[in-house]
Structure 1
Amino acid sequence: MPSEPVRLGRKRALPPCPNPLFLQWLTELRDQAAEKGLKTQYVYQKALSSLKKYPLPLRNGKEAKILQNFGDGICKILDDRLEKYYKENGPDAPIHSLPSEVKASGQCSSNQDPSKAFLNTQEPSATSGGPHKRTKKVDAGKAKGGRKKRGYVPQKRSGGYAVLLTLYRHTQVPGNKGFMFKNELQTEAQPLCDKSFTVPDLGSKYTAWSSVSTLIQRDLVLKTHNPARYALTELGLAVAEQLESGDREERSEQDVEDTGEAGEPVACPDTVDLTQGDDDDGGHDDEDEREGRLAKRAPPAACLDDEVDLTEECLAVEQGEAAANGILLPGCYDIILCIDFIETTGGNTVKKQDLVKELQKNGVTFDIRKLNVGDFLWVARERVAPDQEQLRPPPVKELVLDYIVERKRMDDLCGSIIDGRFREQKFRLKRCGLFKPIYLVEEHGSAAAHLSLPESTLQQAIANTQVVDGFFVKRVQDVMESAAYLTIMTRYLQKLYQNRTLYCRSRELEGDGPRDASISCSLMSFAEFNHGAVKNKCQTVREVFARQLMQISGLSGDKAAAILNRYNTVNSLVQAYDRCSSETEKEKLLSSIKYGKLKRNLGPALSRTVYQLYCSKGPLS
């Protein structure tokens, strides 16, 4: 059979979708739902995906029911919009092509004026109707959407609005990082948003932070790294500048309205000028002025019999504003000892209950809860009075002090050394974000003589914990002495923090390095601390690589960190081995890496062990 002749030339570009009008309407519905934080945004997104794949034109919304993810509700919405479209543009208005080659997103494909593009496609002639016909087509083109559609701009006081403005204002600060972390961004953006960034509304699981995904999809915000860093793209910077200029105009208009036409402050009824009288000659208010201002702030006649302490009212307002900003003022919080529930249940429950009973006898206020790292720690808990009108008590802010205790009996210490938990626990305590780790060792007399490891080995491990790892080690004899030590520590911290103002910080901004100050008033919230200390949480490639290295005998956390600073992943290490010219060079690749405070070399023996682990094809000898 003769072969079919080969056709040469360019293939004609197919339109992206034969139903651009339906595509545009569904896109608008999805964006509106995403802006409000509604779950229907995902329904519209699935319908959009199905519509983009369908190659045939649709005459109405009812025909779209054959497509996947199109139900009666979406079809009815499309039919209603189509009916309104026909009423505005006439029964013969096109629905399978948009005027001036407008895409589904509502933006023109070229830079030319949309109305001109529409005229070029129609090509009216003088013989078919003259100038009157041409004018009519121009008007029709404008009515049918020839004008360029406005780009995506979030609603005022919405989550997207607050995030864009906050990121933009952050870029205007000299010496800024160029990005913001999640907690930092939520804290600074909250005053610009009506909804909460952390607590969803009643009956919904979405917060104002849900709109960030829309900003990322719209290429307005860029998300990178882990922990996540958020920054503005070029398009996002342009939109944020537009929002900022609009916000400035509104503020200036509001200032004009407040000052009046003549530039004088407008007199408002029942307004107290607290600054009045500060610049008087005598430096004191007149008795009449003072009485007049207090009369304006006086309670109603029904409350005249009660005494009103304005100082207490102002203090309550100040405390409320400080707590809302993550600040705990002196006298507004209590120091509470937190005990891991494992220390009170399981195993020898009788002995574990002795600790609790002893703390109760000593009058220590404590709370038993699940701690993902450590056995004991202390939190500064906000004092909140119960609201009689609410069934549940209001949420309480808790900030974690920098002291954390890991309790070890000699038998537990022996078992943790054998199964490898000892090094892992010390590593996690160093990375938990608290900078005063304490090892509480219960020796129990001569109990160590009957364990699997020699007592000298256990004593050496305890000494290494103090000297090498930098932990404070407290030795006690039994549970009673442990309870006494926790009691003394609780009273010491209560006295230490009694006149201090505490600030809530983010773990992402502080890092994991030690601090120089003996006492810090910038503390993590308990929720963030406990979430960051989860043992089996999702790990990055870098974290998995670090865990692998620490399984090698003789390779401590400091040595693993030094290797990670040079090679972040296994792949980067293997590539470095491939670039070596000889076997000897590969074995000595890591030997000159410095680690620890003394900056010692890893050495050739450890370097050879790591090389054999990752480059040996057969079993290790």
Structure 2
Amino acid sequence: MSKKSILNDLIIATEADLSLAKSVSAISKKARLFSDQLEVLRKVQKGMDGPLIFKVCDLKKYMDTKSLGVLETRWNKVLEKRQEARDQAELEKRQQDETAVKERERIKQAAQDVVLREHEQALEKLRKEKNKGGRGVSGFTDPLPTASIDLTDDVDLTATETSPASSYFPKRGTAAHDLLVAMISLPNPTTKEQVLKVTGSQKSWGGLAKLKSEGLVTSSKLNNVYTYSLTASGKSLAENLRGIVRQDKRVADELREDLGRQKRPKATSRVDVHGYYAEKSKAPSAAPKRYADEDMDVHVVPISDGATVAAAELRKAGVAQAEPTEATWEPSSYEIVLLVDKRENNREEAQQAISGLSQKKVTVVPSVLYLGDFLFAARHKSSKKMAVLNTIIERKRYDDLNSSIVDSRYEEQKSRLRKCGVDNVIYLVEHYSMSRAAVQIREKAIASILGRVVAIDGFLLKKTKNVLESCDYMASLYESIKACFEGVSLEIGPQKIGGFSSSRDSFSTMMLTAWQDKNLKSNHSLKVLFIQMLMTINGISAEKAQAIQKLFPTPRHLIDKYREVDESVGKTYLELATKGDIKSVGKAASEMVYEVFGKL
């Protein structure tokens, strides 16, 4: 409690006593005493210059013992009033909290009642449709199985310092609802671009302001790029909403499947060939046909007419059919693992990372990764085969980042990460103190480069102090990804990572081996090697070497071309082929290239 604040209250109380004394007699002893006290208090207040703790004994030098005693009594009354005010405020706060909790419970119960009513209405509607479809084999309509609805998942209603409790429960189909369900499936924090990839609609972003005002989402700014995080209460609510969405999908699938069974006609395994062709022969366009064996049996595999018609319509519209699925992994058949590249430059730090992650109950698999340092994957429990998930991490220490920018490795790695097919690319930068002599790029330049990684390349950026803090981050990310893939089946295809389905109950991906083969950098290395070979020839600059490499992707292409033509043509071939280009090859340089490659 500051000195000025307490003196203010004491002065107000003294003014009140003085006013009361003057109302009896303006020249009484009490009035004079209170007037003197008030003058002293105002004098002390005026001379204050800091919020020191005030004590009544500080006024001894200004007044006698009697006056001080009266002032002390008044002081005690002031303290009592202050304590009463605090107690009253705490009581009101408790009452408000209790009311808020009850209101949240009421809203939550109302939301659950709405969901239950929707399910009951859906069941009733489908029952009616089923009853119209006819009776079962027994002659009575088979009852629809009642799907159990699990609404026991609770939203954390306890308030925290970082995420105040909110009674907000977004309605399904609103922007806020879609935004929460999308963010719970992404790393925390994430960017706007990553969220919109999941929602597929710009409209969902309109729910951000409401979620921030309710304390469910926070935002932060790094190098002019905004990132967004779910608070503790936001995570809890988002997980609850995702559970309800999945439950709705399961119930709808069960009901749809049951209704389909009721309406689907029985498939025959044999048909009367004579009757079939007799009907066909009646058609004017059908020519009569004879069959040698009229008693043959024909086994028919029933194909849905709707499926064939739909496929024909899609082909007519030029719509490509979905990638064929090689295998489907059910949610219970795989586990989430974190692959760690065991070829990391600093083996000691790599081992430290593996050890630290294992201690945090992360399932770590040391591996050889052709791209990235850490990759989240799904491992089949029986076959031990692995499929790629949606998050890859490139780890850089400041010194390594510095040197990779200088020798151009940085741009190459970044380009390969952009094209790898994994949605969430995380650039994990660890602080590492370097001497000024070792720093080749200034801090501001590195900050600008990292800003472009987020703003232009669409990567997620995370800065940590050391390996241990990196392990903490990856362990929390591991738990988020496990929760994200809970109850999700994997559709394994041969070519690409398709991502989550619209209902988010399946994830289309590819095997790790196929992904590794796709991201081998041998082709890229050959291109670079060929350019470097050309640059060793006098008169061939980097730009001219690149121009030649565009015409002939590999040395073999250039050698084959030289073998097709005469020596006189070969010596001037590059000169003529690049004529008119900004970086054309001169006559002398063209002859030099022929001398190197044309006689092999």
- Structure 1 length as normaliser, TM-score? 0.35
Structure with higher RCO (Cα < 8 A, 6+ apart): 2
- Structure 2 length as normaliser, TM-score? 0.36
**Higher relative helix content:** 2
Give the structure with higher Rg (CA).
Answer: 2
